[in-house]
Amino acid sequence: MKKNILTGLRPTGNLHLGHYFGACKNYLKLQDDFNFYLEIADVQALTDNFSNPEKVRTNVYEITKDLLAIGLNPDKVHFFIQSKIPEIAELTIFYSNLVTVSRLERNPTVKNEISSKKELFGNNGESITYGFLGYPVSQAADITIFDGEVVPVGDDQLPLLEQCREIVRKFNSIYGNVFKEPQQVLSETTRVKGLDGNEKMGKSLGNAIYLIDDEETIKTKIMAAVTDPNKIKKGDPANPDVCMVFYYHKLVNNNNLDTVCNECKNGHRGCVQCKKELINAMNAFLKPIQEKRKFYDDNPEIVEEILNKGTAQAQEIAKNKMSEVKKAMKIDY
């Protein structure tokens, strides 16, 4: 029997190349080997977007369509909406007894997020909400209610997995052996830098290329990308390793990379031409994704059906697990 695997995405924006190369491309392989549950984590998205419900709602559909567009197969992947599984919220409450406030405050992922969201939580994070501080507990419930033994996540999520394992150990030691400790799936993923050369591509950083960007947008973005600052005119030799245009050539242009690299180094290549070639390669890379995405845009009822079907399957598993939990906790009245 295939093992269960679960991962989640917060529906707060469309997928960009950072998501694609950093995580989602890997899902394409995993969907063949595992029983794959993919949670659209709307409840988690609301923990820091509670005043913007419209944004979360819209992005539930946007992100689902993006994931289908990259080639996730709805016959293999169970797409489900977190808020439709009330057992997750229930388990979160039971788990919250097993974790201390100071342990949550020390979670590095949460700490980073608080410092980058000062406007939401106040200057020192002193006004951080109960719900936000507790989202790792809710994420532990997400993972374990589906017996997720392996979780495909990036390194930024490792502290959340560690927190989940601690909760599982505590739960099992008190109530008996109900849950498995999840492990990270190690995969060859790439962290993608932003158009501006920033180590991370992100929506809030304004340096992302989205899978749905049209040709005009791609052109504008790539034309403005950071190149080797020492190259002033066309004939100057340059260093492709410090150039974001070459960096993206490496991601999406498999044909003439050596030529690009050599011509850049020996000064036989102008940046404008080089950017034009990247624009073409990027559009060619995005085209099949966007064609697939258009199919789902034109057929919203199919997307709805995929979500309903996946959610029904997830509900069944969650219900069964919850009866086991309640029995173990002696609240199975």
Q: Which of residues 274-333 bind ligand SF4 (CB under 6 A)?
A: 274-275
Q: CA 75, CA 69: separation in Å to the nearest integer?
A: 14
3-state DSSP assignment of residue 206: coil
Asked whether 158 and 123 are in contact (CB, 8 A), the reply is no
Q: Is 251 an interacting residue with respect to ligand SF4 (CB under 6 A)?
A: no
- Partner from ligand SF4, ligand TRP, none binding residue 20, C-beta < 5-8 Å depending on class: none
Asked whether 225 and 207 are in contact (CB, 8 A), the reply is no
- Least Cα distance to 143 among 314, 1, 329 occurs for 314
Surface-to-core class of residue 329, CB atoms within 10 Å of its CB (0-12 exposed, 13-18 middle, 19+ buried): middle
Tokens 């109530």 sit on residue: 175
Other CB atoms within 10 A of residue 129 CB: 13
- Cβ neighbours for 130, distance < 8 A, ≥ 6 positions apart: none
Please say which residue, 282 or 318, places its beta carbon nearer to ligand SF4: 282
Please say which residue, 182 or 240, places its beta carbon nearer to ligand TRP: 182
Q: CA 226, CA 243: separation in Å to the nearest integer?
A: 6
Q: Is 41 an interacting residue with respect to ligand TRP (CB under 6 A)?
A: yes
- Cβ neighbours for 325, distance < 8 A, ≥ 6 positions apart: 91, 94, 175, 178
Q: Is 9 an interacting residue with respect to ligand TRP (CB under 6 A)?
A: yes
Q: Exactly one of 212, 271, 286, 307 binds ligand SF4 (CB under 6 A); which one?
A: 271
Q: How far is the CB of 191 from ligand SF4 (least distance, A)?
A: 20
- Check residue 28 and report its DSSP letter: H
- Partner from ligand TRP, ligand SF4, none binding residue 243, C-beta < 5-8 Å depending on class: ligand SF4
Q: Is 274 an interacting residue with respect to ligand TRP (CB under 6 A)?
A: no
Please say which residue, 241 or 291, places its beta carbon nearer to ligand SF4: 241
Tell me how far the alpha carbon of residue 58 is from its chain's centroid. 17
Q: Which of residues 87-106 bind ligand SF4 (CB under 6 A)?
A: none
Please say which residue, 6 or 260, places its beta carbon nearer to ligand SF4: 260
Asked whether 282 and 252 are in contact (CB, 8 A), the reply is yes
Q: Is 228 an interacting residue with respect to ligand SF4 (CB under 6 A)?
A: yes
Q: Is 240 an interacting residue with respect to ligand TRP (CB under 6 A)?
A: no
Q: Which of residues 104-163 bind ligand TRP (CB under 6 A)?
A: 139, 142-143, 151, 153, 157
Binding site for ligand SF4 (CB under 6 A): 227-228, 231, 238, 240, 243, 245-246, 264, 269, 271, 274-275
Binding site for ligand TRP (CB under 6 A): 6-10, 39, 41, 44, 139, 142-143, 151, 153, 157
